């Protein structure tokens, strides 16, 4: 996952890009970058870490120009290194072009190998650079024309922002796996991963960029260009489940509303389960638990004190430290949980490590029984389209039966939401479906 944000024709372009990226921070914490267009010179600034660690007033002051494109990265393809921080800026026969990408291009390695054989030199190990190399070899009359010829050669998922002097272009893959929304702020246009970023920057949402569509903004005007037919609108459902911020709207449905309804549907699926209280694993589990409480009549309670100041420095690969971090981040509230039967909701179970740790901490702190309710179906297959899920072998639901997963996480009962409830609650429509490959193992195209 990554977040992208672009703004045009604004004297505060860099600062508004900062606001947009700051709002999208939940989509990636590894690196952040902004490129501005200062009278035709593209000024890039990228760094490792959170948006407010990378940028300060001084840096933002130096990023002059009325157009800006920004990116925050959550590494999927390519290693965690500053050279993979985006936006990437390349100087070629296309002139100076910057690119910011959210998604995963599944045929990037094959394209890259071919281009390298022909002499191309790549400056990063991320998959996002291939489109610029392709474009440099197959030029059209304008950048949009060039992109329209070359984007259809890519497979997989992408929401792109491109910038050249005087122009910003947004493009979304023909399935619409990854989100891209258009907004307006006075005379400025905004392109962003989520509606929340447009609104926090002070703008209003216009519409989603359609799958296979490009938005070209130049000279204060916007043009739309279709570069591929919509294959079948299959937006990633994991955005609704986990990634998107609840105050965003996706495919016409508020994420908060969808999650509340998912919680209610979970309650419907578990109507025979008696419990003293229902709670969610903060932050993503909370809305689900509220929906569950409303539907079931079981009182909602916070069972954890969440410490918001843990930061990322504690996220270490070492198992002992990871356990310690879990405790540091979520401390059980003993008085609330003592001897109680608790329905505990989390958005998903991937490897099972989070649930296992949390159940252990709650029990150690005196909880009675724990019914673990997962607000999505079992993840049985990896994502090839930009969500950082591990290989099949590491996905617990691919390896163990429901009963063995329950035992592994130490809960007294375990329930996954049905796929049917999930897609209905997310607002699945005939023309606008969701990609649910991670739950079914069936992919729209062979990855």
Catalytic residues: 2
With respect to ligand AMP, which residue has the nearer C-beta, 124 or 353? 353
With respect to ligand AMP, which residue has the nearer C-beta, 341 or 355? 355
With respect to ligand AMP, which residue has the nearer C-beta, 12 or 388? 388
With respect to ligand AMP, which residue has the nearer C-beta, 242 or 260? 242
Phi, then psi, of 262 in degrees rounded to 5: -60, -45
Q: Do 279 and 303 contact (CB within 8 A), yes or no? A: yes
**Whether the bond into 283 is cis, omega within 30 of 0:** yes
Closest to 162 (Cα-Cα) out of 22, 35, 17, 12:
35
Phi, then psi, of 35 in degrees rounded to 5: -120, 130
Please state the closest distance from residue 358 (CB atom) to ligand AMP, in A: 8
Please state the closest distance from residue 334 (CB atom) to ligand AMP, in A: 22
Q: Do 107 and 147 contact (CB within 8 A), yes or no? A: no
Closest to 225 (Cα-Cα) out of 238, 236, 209:
209
Please state the closest distance from residue 387 (CB atom) to ligand AMP, in A: 5
Please state the closest distance from residue 217 (CB atom) to ligand AMP, in A: 31
Angle of helix 419-426 relative to helix 255-269, nearest 10 degrees, comes to 150
Q: Count the Cβ atoms, other than its own, within 10 Å of residue 75.
A: 17
Please state the closest distance from residue 294 (CB atom) to ligand AMP, in A: 22
Residues near ligand AMP, by CB under 6 A: 242, 281, 284, 346-355, 387-389
With respect to ligand AMP, which residue has the nearer C-beta, 148 or 387? 387
Instruction: Write 137-142 long-range contacts (CB < 8 A, 24+).
Output: 139/93, 139/94
């Amino acid at each position: 996952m990554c977040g992208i944000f672009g703004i045009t024709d604004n004297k505060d372009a860099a600062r508004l890009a900062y606001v947009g990226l700051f709002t999208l921070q939940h989509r990636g914490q590894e690196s952040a970058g902004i490129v501005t267009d200062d009278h035709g010179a593209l000024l890039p600034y990228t760094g490792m870490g959170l948006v407010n660690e990378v940028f300060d007033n001084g840096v933002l002051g130096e990023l002059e120009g009325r157009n800006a494109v920004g990116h925050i990265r959550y590494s999927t393809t390519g290693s965690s290194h500053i050279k993979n921080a985006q936006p990437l800026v390349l100087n070629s026969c296309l002139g100076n072009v910057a690119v910011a990408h959210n998604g995963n291009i599944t045929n990037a390695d094959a394209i890259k190998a071919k281009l390298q054989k022909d002499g191309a030199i790549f400056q990063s190990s991320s998959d996002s650079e291939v489109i610029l190399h392709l474009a440099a070899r197959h030029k059209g009359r304008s950048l949009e024309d060039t992109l329209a010829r070359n984007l259809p050669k890519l497979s997989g998922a992408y929401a792109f922002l491109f910038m050249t002097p005087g122009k910003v272009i947004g493009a979304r893959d023909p399935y619409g796996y990854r989100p891209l929304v258009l907004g307006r702020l006075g005379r400025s246009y905004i392109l962003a991963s989520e509606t929340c970023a447009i609104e926090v920057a002070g703008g209003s949402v216009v519409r989603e960029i359609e799958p296979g569509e490009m938005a070209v903004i130049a000279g204060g005007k916007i043009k739309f260009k279709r570069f591929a037919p919509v294959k079948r609108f299959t937006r990633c459902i994991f955005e609704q489940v986990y990634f998107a911020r609840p105050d965003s709207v996706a495919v016409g449905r508020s994420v908060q509303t969808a999650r509340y309804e998912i919680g209610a549907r979970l309650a419907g699926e578990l109507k025979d389960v008696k419990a003293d209280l229902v709670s969610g694993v903060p932050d993503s589990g909370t809305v689900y638990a509220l929906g569950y409480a409303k539907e079931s009549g079981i009182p909602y309670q916070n069972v954890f004190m969440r410490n918001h100041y843990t930061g990322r420095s504690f996220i270490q690969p070492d198992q002992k430290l990871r356990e310690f971090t879990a405790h540091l981040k979520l401390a059980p509230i003993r008085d609330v949980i003592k001897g109680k039967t608790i329905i505990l909701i989390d958005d998903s179970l991937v490897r099972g490590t989070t649930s296992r740790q949390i159940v252990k901490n709650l029990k150690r702190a005196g909880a009675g029984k724990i019914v673990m309710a997962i607000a999505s179906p079992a993840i049985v297959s990896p994502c090839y389209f930009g969500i950082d899920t591990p290989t099949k072998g590491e996905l617990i639901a691919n390896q163990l039966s429901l009963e063995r997963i329950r035992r592994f996480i130490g809960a007294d009962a375990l329930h996954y939401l049905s796929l049917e409830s999930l897609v209905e609650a997310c607002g699945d429509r005939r023309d606008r479906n969701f990609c649910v490959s991670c739950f079914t193992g069936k992919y729209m195209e062979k990855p």
